[in-house]
Amino acid sequence: MEQQDGAASISLKTLQTFIDKPRFLRLGGRLKKSTLHYQKVHQMILPSNHHFIKLVVSAEHISLHQPGPQIVKASLREGYWIPRIRLLVKTATQQLMGELPST
């Protein structure tokens, strides 16, 4: 699994992952002594190809009042690490164009 975002490609092997007490896979990292909330320091790793995760992305998009993909990605990254997040957000947040009124 790799995080594809722009030019960066990061393998999960290099991210010091660990399994916490409720048995969630989380990121390790250099922020262990940070005063940030546990969820922000050790983001939960979620699979990008699971239907439930697509629903999470769609719900986040709706709860933020349908902003652009960058805002949805930033919001999700506060608590989750989702490989290939850019593609997932792009497909889950495509807005359909409404019909134009007749003239």
**Rounded CA separation 8/66 (Å):** 26
- Can you give the pLDDT at residue 93? 75
- Can you give the pLDDT at residue 9? 53
pTM equals: 0.73
Using DSSP bridges, classify how beta strands 18-19 and 2-5 pair: parallel, antiparallel or unpaired.
Answer: unpaired
Contact 95, 66 (CB under 8 A): yes
- Can you give the pLDDT at residue 2? 45
Which domains are present in the chain?
2-92 (1.10.340)
Please report, to the nearest 10 degrees, the dihedral formed by the alpha carbons of residues 82, 47, 1, 31 taken in order: 40
pLDDT tens digits, residue range 53-93? 999 999 999 999 989 899 999 999 999 999 999 999 998 87
Instruction: Tokens 């792009």: give the residue.
Output: 90
User: Any residues with CB less than 8 A from the CB of 58 and at least 6 apart, and which?
Assistant: 92, 93
Look at 14 and 44; give whichever has higher pLDDT: 44
pLDDT tens digits, residue range 16-27? 899 999 999 999
